[in-house]
Each structure stands twice: as C-alpha cells, then as structure tokens.
Structure 1
C-alpha cells in the first residue's frame, strides 16, 4: 500500500496482537528510537528525521494501528482503538524487533499514543518527545467557546458510528487535505507526491481513523482521568515542542504538561504543526538529546 518509502530503511510486518500486524520502516544501528506519526499521515512523515537519526540510532517508524499499511481491525468495542491498546502495540513491536527499552517520539495522534505508552510502560520508555499536542484529558478541558472551532474534527469524529464516517467518505480528499494545507506554514514541506500518499492512505482508513478519534472522546479520557486522580506521572525525561497556540486558545500549554511530569523540557517553535517535515534538523536534535538525558 505504501508507494513511497524512507531511503535506506526496510519495511517489516510485525504481529502485535492476534488480529493486528503493524507495518514498520526500520533503519540504522545504535540506541533505539521509535517514531509515531500523526493525523492525517503515515510513518512517511518521519522520513527526514529518521534519515538523520539513523546515523547513530536504530530507528523504528511504524504505521499506527488503523493507519497506513498497518492492519485496521473493526471497532467492535471502545478498547480496539484506545491509546492504551495502541501504546501496547508499540511496546510489543519494539520488543519483537529486539528492543525492550527505547526513546519514544510522537506527533499529534502519535503523541497521544506515546503518552499512554509512557504512562503504562515506564520500564520500556526511557525518554519521551511529544510534538504539538496536549494530553487527551487536557485537550478536552482546554477547548471551549468559539476558539474550539479549530478542533471541529474532534467533535465530528466523536459522534456515534455511522454519520461521521459517511460525511468524511463523501469528500475524503477535501477533508483530509484541509488539515494538510491549513496546518502547514511551509507548503513545500509536504510535496505533491507525499501529500497524495497521505490522502490515499487516509481515504482508505476512514473507519479506523474515526474510531481512533472516537476513543479519544471516551475511553482515553477515562484512562487519563484515572491516572490524574491517582497522581500518576511520567517517570522519564519529557520534551514537548509546540507552536505558539496556547495563549490564543486561553491556556498555557507548559503549565498543563507540567502537571504530568517533574522532568519537563518545553519549547515553543516557529514552524507549523507538521514540524517534523518543516524543521527535521531541530526535531532530530531534540530526539537525540533525549537519548543522553
């Protein structure tokens, strides 16, 4: 399914559950890092970062469950696409490839999976990087009033099965393309062939993408709430890079993240949402620094 690839990387298909195998591009040698893509993308979003890291790290770039060339199980219950389940997929993938402990980086949806994996599996995640996202619980609490319009897709895909899938399928390229265009400061960062790849992959995964978002309005909130009420925090070094969108939406992102960890490095960056493609040198440096913290 993947017409484009990361040069020098080999794609593997690894079973992580009875009914799910993940597609993962693997390259390089050295300390392992796992990179999780966001919406509406695939592992290809890491192509520039992965190439830089592969000079001294083993780099694992999977398509998340329900995305890209990975399996897309039917949404038979709320846990199928919970971030707890998807995080467990990632830990099992790394273990199957011979890595019981690794640095984990995630962007957008992948950052939510990385957050849950780091909360649930601190023995496996030695450091975590989160790109341009808030933890699920904080995201829902922060969005309010007219400013919440930037997250209209969150509310659409939170609806019961049927309507959101039908509406998105009716104009899939326009729906997914809207985010690729609106969230990018440098249009050249996502060239036409890569953009087409993302649109094709997303159009083929509408039910599972919606299920992923639906879980974030339900079971994922429950899991975050349980951890917050129990005072559970991220035990490993954490780096968060975000655009300067917190003040515009009426909250300070750094303060929200600080509630989840005592080991926070927070930076505001000038590029757009798709920062791994707009400034891959910066992102690679931040990931590499986590391997030594």
Structure 2
C-alpha cells in the first residue's frame, strides 16, 4: 500500500511542478493569470471502522485554481492599449466562428475596415451609445470606426477615455463616439475555461457574462495607453518550486524505503 500512496504523491508533485513551470514561463505574458494546485487527502475507512485506526492512502489533486488578482500596470503610450483598473474582462468576438472570448490583455489595434481587433483578428466589443454618449443597451456590438464620416472626411485617429468611451477623430476636426468598451463579469470567474492566448470562455461553472460599462458597479475603469502585466510573482514561484521539488524527493525516498523493507522481508523468508 505504501508504494501506491507514495506514487500518488509523486504524481501530485509532478502536477504542481508543471503548474509552477507554466506560471514562470508566462511571467512576462501580458494579461496572464497564475494558477495554483489544491490537494485533498484520501482516507479509506468504513462507517463501522475504528476512527483511531483509519489511515490515509495518499492525496489527490482537488483543483487547479486561477488567481485573478490585478497585475502590474505598464504604460505603453499606444492609444489602443488598455488596462482594466479593477474587475472585469474585455469581450471580443471571432468574426469567422462567432465565438466570444474574454481577456485581460488589452493589446488592440485596428484593421483596414475600421474594426478594433486583437492580434488574431477577434473584434473588441463595445456597448452602443446615442448622440450624447449615453449607453443605450447592454448587448455588445463590434467596435468599428467609420473610415469616412457623414461629411466625407477621412478617419484620423481613435482614443479611449477612462469611462470606456471610444472616440474617433476625423480630418475636418469632428469627433464621434462609436461606443463604450463593454466589460464582462462572472458570478464565478474561477470557472472560466482557459483557451490559450490569454483568452477565456464562459462555462456552466462560471455562469453567463454580465456586461456593463467601465466604472459601473464592481467594474473597473479603463487605463488607456497601458497594459496589465502578468500577476506572477517570480520569487513566490521559486519558493514553491523548491517546495514541490522537496515534496517529490520525499515521496521518491518513501518508495525507496518501502522497497528496502520488502527486500528485507523476502530475504528473511529465503
């Protein structure tokens, strides 16, 4: 039994080492959120067993949790770089598949049609506004700046305000608010599914997305010209790496000791 108990420990140590390695590998990844492993013990005993004689049979990985704490903010100066100072996720839609993704990576640009997109072409979602800049619906739409305004003037630039207002400027000096950045929040963010590229998708565990404008309720404000960096603390991860290594070595030693005891018993019988 001790072999299998220690084997469980080895497997769990390997899982923890893998998670820590992934955290360290993404220490410089914009908008990355670190993970941690939670373990649970395994106890073998029936209702009629003497509780003073019940022994554990190892441990198991209970969950790999994501930590959504705010990472350091780095100023970039780019008008379409955004960071969320508080809770919420940027929403973006893949124009080919129609799937919605959520991210804390606010590194956006603009394509030839005036859509605000990420590096993979997914379109940033905004809340529609009226002529006064007031949000008219909480159903998000694609963020698109008309290449030519109603007066026939060409598009010049776009800027994003702290309240999420996306304002397009034109050659004739006029401006137009094309929407306010849509921020999404979830009942259980830890239930979001990681899909790579600093993107998440909603699941039955996370619940559906609740959209609103920046600064409303629990939603954070927008920091334009900035990006949120990874929330990985390298010093903390290195300490965890040493602990996981010792955990692995201790379980390996337990297997070695059990092997020696088994060999001794075999030698006694022979």
TM-score, with length taken from structure 2: 0.22
**Bigger proportion of residues as strand:** 2
**Bigger proportion of residues as helix:** 1
TM-score, with length taken from structure 1: 0.21
* Larger-Rg structure: 2
